Every structure is written in C-alpha cells, then in structure tokens.
Amino acid sequence: MRSITTKLLLFLILLTGLSASSPSFDFRTGRHNNVCKDLKNDVLLYFVFVDTRTTSPWTEFDILSTIDSIQVAARWLETQATGHGVTLRVKTDYYIGDEFATIQRNLPGNSIRETIEQQNLAKGMESLNRWGDYISKIIGESLYIKEKDGIPTQKKPSNKERLIAFLRDEYQVESVALLLLVNNYYRSDISLAINTLQNEDVEFSVVSYKYPSEIAHSVLHLYGAADLGESPFRKSPRKLRIANQAFPDDIMTEVYAKSLSGLEIGEFTKYMIGWSEELDPEFEQLLFERASIFR
C-alpha cells in the first residue's frame, strides 16, 4: 500500500512538473482579436509587392498573375461564406508604383524562416514588425490625402497601424487585411501571420507564394484561423496527426501548391474565424500548443 502511495505521489509530482515546464497558449486569443476580428460583411484585402535582396524580383508577369490569384482567393472566400450562411463582401486593392514598381526593403534575415530562426519566433516577429512599418511608411508617403481649405485633413500614414486606419476609412470597410508579398518562386520559404495572438501592434501577413490557396490561408490567419499543418505555430506531432485525420482538406493545412477547388473551411476553422460559436469538444485540444515555440 505504501509503495502505491509513493508511486502515486511521484506520478503527481512528475505531472505537475511537466505541466509547469511546458505551459501552453490558446489559439482562441486570436478570435475576435486585433484589426481583423470576424470574416464577415465588408472587408478589404490590401496587398503590397515587396522586393528584397534575397527574393526573386517581381516581374510584371509575376505581379499580374498574383493579382489573378488574389481575385480567385477573394471569390473563393465569398463562395465559402455563402455556403455557410455568412454575409461577406471582399474588396481587393494593392499598392503598386509606376510601371509595376515595387517597394524595396530587405527582410531582417535572408528569408522569413531565417528571420524567425536566427533569434526566436517572438524576436523574429518584432523585426518583421519594423520591416512592415517601414514599408507602410513608404506607401503612406505616396498616398493622396484630401485637403480642406488647402490644409490636409490628416497626416500621411507613417506605420502599419495608421495605414490600416487610413484604408479602412477610404474603402468604408469593417476590417483591412494587410498582406506583404515577397516573391519566393523557385525558393523554399514560409508565409507568416504576425501579431494575430496579441494586441500590442496591428496584425498583418507576410506571404511567400502566389497560389490562391496560400493567399486565402494567409488571409484567414488574420481572422483568427490556426494552422492545422506544420508551421512555426503548430509543432506537436500528436496534434498534427489529429488535425490531419479530422481535416485533411482544410484550407489551414499545409496548402503549398494545392488547388483551392479541393479545399474547404472545416468545422475547426469555421469556429476560429467567427463563423460559428461552438466547437465540438473533440477538437478542443487543437486550440493549444506549447508556449515554448516563442522562445
């Protein structure tokens, strides 16, 4: 009897120790959060083509085919919304200089992946925040600000937050999804949604590829969707197995080069983006990942 009690005690100590050493975070922090709350009503997807020292240059052809992909992604999101009884009107626009000029700003690391792996996810995202602010300031300087009695009605946007606020007024939408596109055609990198789980800075996505599926996936992250495939935010092999079994065709799985026509918005993602208010308890475990991924 004594040995059973000792074993039980040891087991309890071990269990407490384990849970204390690996606290988890909850993807629900990203639901109804930051600038892109629910994917409903009128939204603007705003794209910026960015050239860097280490990515392929954006050619006119690349830009035009990406604009086509953006349209495919926007219409797919609207069709999915209609299918789930949700009202959604997606406007799209993009920043483009004269003669397909892009914004030139090197990534903090040689790639998005390297930027977050050089330091850690938290610090990598901090430097991408500064990168995004610089790009937004360049866009801000090029914008036409309305004047009243010869005086500009507002200052030119000088960072991501001001740019998003400007666009929201200009396009009369409830939310603005800001997506910064780098050209990783023929290269291997990741796309990353930033600030989706906090409120200290505005959320935006850095997108590596021009597939419609990658664009739709990146937009959905901003509205609260969590990865169902391996990513910097989703690492647990057990949860990846569960996700893969339950939602093999979900848009939040690894969608690289997959056609949108074979993908869907499944139960879990629907809940995350505010298209439903209840989640089957069976999938609750997918709401958590270890907080240690940020360190």
Measured from each CB, the residue nearest to Zn ion is: 227
Q: Which is nearer to Zn ion, 189 or 227 (CB)?
A: 227
Of 201 and 227, the one with the shorter C-beta distance to Zn ion is: 227
Whichever of 213 and 231 has its CB closer to Zn ion, that residue is: 231
Question: At closest approach, how far in Å is the CB of 156 from Zn ion?
Answer: 32
Q: How far is the CB of 231 from Zn ion (least distance, A)?
A: 5
Q: Which is nearer to Zn ion, 63 or 112 (CB)?
A: 112
Smallest distance, Zn ion to C-beta of residue 104, A: 26
For the bound state, the minimum distance from the C-beta of residue 242 to Zn ion, rounded and expressed in Å, comes to: 17
In the complex, what is the shortest distance from the CB of residue 145 to Zn ion, in angstroms, rounded to a whole number?
35
Q: CB of residue 171 vs Zn ion: minimum separation in angstroms?
A: 25
Which C-beta is closer to Zn ion: that of 175 or that of 205? 205
Written in H, E and C, the secondary structure of the chain is CHHHHHHHHHHHHHHHHHHHHCCEEEHHHHCCCCCCCCCCEEEEEEEEEEECCCCCCCCHHHHHHHHHHHHHHHHHHHHHHHHCCCCEEEEEEEECCHHHCCEECCCCCCCHHHHHHHCCHHHHHHHHHHHHHHHHHHHHHHCCCCEECCEECCCCCCCHHHHHHHHHHHHCCCEEEEEEEECCCCCCCCCEEECCCCCCCCCEEEECCCCHHHHHHHHHHHCCCCCCCCECCECCHHHHHHHHHHCCCECCCCCCCCCHHHCECCHHHHHHCCCCCCCCHHHHHHHEEEHHHHC
> Which residues lie near Zn ion (CB under 5 A)?
227, 231
Judged by CB, which is closer to Zn ion: 126, or 230? 230
